[in-house]
Structure 1
Amino acid sequence: MAYTTEGAKAGASPEDLKMEIEGVAKKAAMEAGRLIVAASGKAQNVETKGVRSDLVTEVDKACEDLIKQRVQESFPDHSILGEETSTSEELERLDATLADSDWTWIVDPIDGTLNFVGGLPLSVVSIGVAKANRVEVGVVFNPYSGELFTARRGEGAFLNGERISVLPPETELEDGAVSVGFPSKRPVRERMLRGVSAVAPHARTVRALGTAALHMSYVAAGKLACFFELNLKPWDVAAAWLIVEEAGGRVTDMAGKPMRLRAGPILASCGGQLHERVLSLLREAECTGEESDLR
């Protein structure tokens, strides 16, 4: 049944609408997840997107098409920003699109395509739904493990229906597992390595799973203390950003400034002294996501 924004205003509360949106997002993510698991390590058409380490497959496109179809069936007046079909011009106009659109779905059909191509069971479906310029619903689904992370603004974060929370804010960096991602562009990756080299000696351990949305979801669930990476896109972080905050965590850019949906550099953590400590180390390493970090 199509559920338009106008219809929602006439007969349903904002909370009811967010619940309906979350339900559609969860079903779409699980449908796409079945395609991912069935084709893991078996992609037939693997293409590059600008650099050799940035890949896209026919399964990425099929998953995005499926999700877009499910959104259009239920919410025909909602906008969709998908990794595989959005143009660079649309990304540049994102702020204006968010301002003009009542609801925008921000979709990464396979976050962790390199893992998917290699048959590594570390890829997720990420769906964030924003009203104007603020994410209101977030869904991240790991189809290999069945982990379904969800959040609606103001209502907490959940893993398979059970409430989750980040590590205690008094957690120290030396007692926390730090997770990182490595951008596809070589100059940005080299800058990122400077940040990792600055933080890693002080952390309990460092992990790199190859999917930003899963890293951040694990921060929300208290499995990791923090995650940081340069040069991310909106679809990489939109859903998990909300999940982290609803789990009691903190999300900023790597200079400590407020995040924007345009994304870029990100630091997501349990907050408290650990967040400030990592920010300080990144500043010392000159790895904060300033313009020079993104070339």
Structure 2
Amino acid sequence: MVASDCTEAVMGWGMQPMCRRVHLRARSPAAERTVTESRRKRVDRGTPDEAEHGIQKWTGQRRMLCLLPMKESDVLPAGSSNDLRLAVSAAQAAGAVICERFHAEASTVHRKDGKGEVTETDLAAEAAIFDVLSGSDHGILSEEAGGTHENADLWIIDPVDGTTNFSRRLSLCAVSIGLRLGGQLALGVILHPVTGEVYLAERGLGAWKNQQRLHVATTDDPSLAVIYLTHGYAVEHRRRYGEALARFAETSYPRTFGSTAAELSFVAAGAGDGWICSGDELWDFAAGMVLVEEAGGRVSDWRGADWDGQSTFTIVSNGAIHDFLTDTVSDLQPV
């Protein structure tokens, strides 16, 4: 019999293992109770670092481990603006909600007019973000509550990017908060609640993960490229995704993880070389675009033109592989 004393997280680029996998070999019930009690005492006792930086809980016989919240000094680079500090605080508030509910009974799932799932956790995480941002003068556009695209200064929010993953207890979900100032994307924060990783970027300050400077990969060989692909909900976007996937499968390593924010944070960290989508919404990729560009990457539409702030035909890459990506799919973008 094989068991685990903690939740396993998907390990991305540079992520540290959250927990130790334990292999149990047919212990007696009495021995099993002894082992369980020993682990429980270790978690209850904790360490000063865990008490300050982590949340560890037992739910029945299941251990839930989250590395939230972290202090701002552990996340923010020098020179961060007040807006970036506010975005990090809002993301952490939402992350705490998600982490608390990750192992709870599945919350109610509703279909959103054919545009994916929404759970009670999506709404609760969104409310936590709104509470933090309530003192800001900027407008808000959020996946669940909606809003207007018209404001030049606008918070762009996806409280749980990867809701389908979350509802099935897959750890690849993220909080995504971007900010547009004067009509231009100015900063982005992507928080992975289960692993505790905080990816952030602000124009002119670079891209960071928990104060570690990020740089895109230098891969320029299509045969070595890891390329993330995703799509919107409409049938034409799904078909276009299928065609693009078939083309890249002949030359490269295509991947689909179910969370645009997570995928873009991986590209910024060098754990992928490109990301391609048609049909995603602005809240899916706004924060991630800033991350990748500040990490040294490039953004365009499928034809290679500069992204105009509205197009949902988007390619985000390490730059070195960008021309290969546009050459492969440019004919799939409608005129």
| Band the TM-score falls in, shorter-chain normalisation | 0.7 to 0.9
**Cα offset for 1:183?**
2.5
* 1:128-143 paired onto structure 2 within 5 Å: 128-143=178-193
Alignment-derived partner of residue 6 in structure 1: none
* 1:41-80 paired onto structure 2 within 5 Å: 42-51=105-114, 54-73=116-135, 75=136, 77-80=137-140
Higher relative contact order, structure no. (Cα contacts within 8 Å, ≥ 6 residues apart) = 1
Structure 2 runs not aligned, ≥5 long: 1-76
How far apart, in 1, do the equivalents of 2:210 and 2:138 lie?
Answer: 26
Contact 2:205 2:294 (8 Å CA) reproduced: yes
Bigger radius of gyration among the two: 2
Alignment-derived partner of residue 195 in structure 2: 145
**Cα offset for 1:260?**
3.1
The number of residues matched between the two structures is 258
- 1:159-213 superposed Cα distances (whole Å, 9 cap, x missing partner): 1111010011x6211111111113322232012110111122111x221110111
Alignment-derived partner of residue 248 in structure 2: 199
- Cα RMSD, aligned residues only: 1.9
TM-score normalized with structure 1 length:
0.83
* 1:228-243 paired onto structure 2 within 5 Å: 228-243=276-291
TM-score normalized with structure 2 length:
0.73
Alignment-derived partner of residue 252 in structure 1: 300
Q: Which letter does structure 1 place at the counterpart of 2:100?
A: A
How far apart, in 2, do the equivalents of 1:275 and 1:16 lie?
Answer: 31
SS of the equivalent of 1:217 reads: helix
Q: Which letter does structure 2 place at the counterpart of 1:277?
A: F
**Cα offset for 1:263?**
4.3
Alignment-derived partner of residue 265 in structure 1: 313
Contact 2:185 2:290 (8 Å CA) reproduced: yes
Runs of 4+ with deviation above 4 angstroms: 15-18
Q: What's the % identity of the aligned pairs?
A: 30
**Cα offset for 1:20?**
1.1
How far apart, in 1, do the equivalents of 2:79 and 2:154 lie?
Answer: 14
The verdict on how the C-alpha distance between 1:67 and 1:86 changes in structure 2, with shifts beyond 3 A counting, is same
Alignment-derived partner of residue 175 in structure 1: 224
Larger relative helix fraction: 1
Q: Which letter does structure 1 place at the counterpart of 2:166?
A: F
How far apart, in 1, do the equivalents of 2:81 and 2:106 lie?
Answer: 34
The verdict on how the C-alpha distance between 1:16 and 1:72 changes in structure 2, with shifts beyond 3 A counting, is farther
SS of the equivalent of 2:250 reads: helix
**Cα offset for 1:72?**
1.1
2:262 is equivalent to residue 214 of structure 1: yes
Structure 1 runs not aligned, ≥5 long: 1-14
How far apart, in 2, do the equivalents of 1:137 and 1:215 lie?
Answer: 17
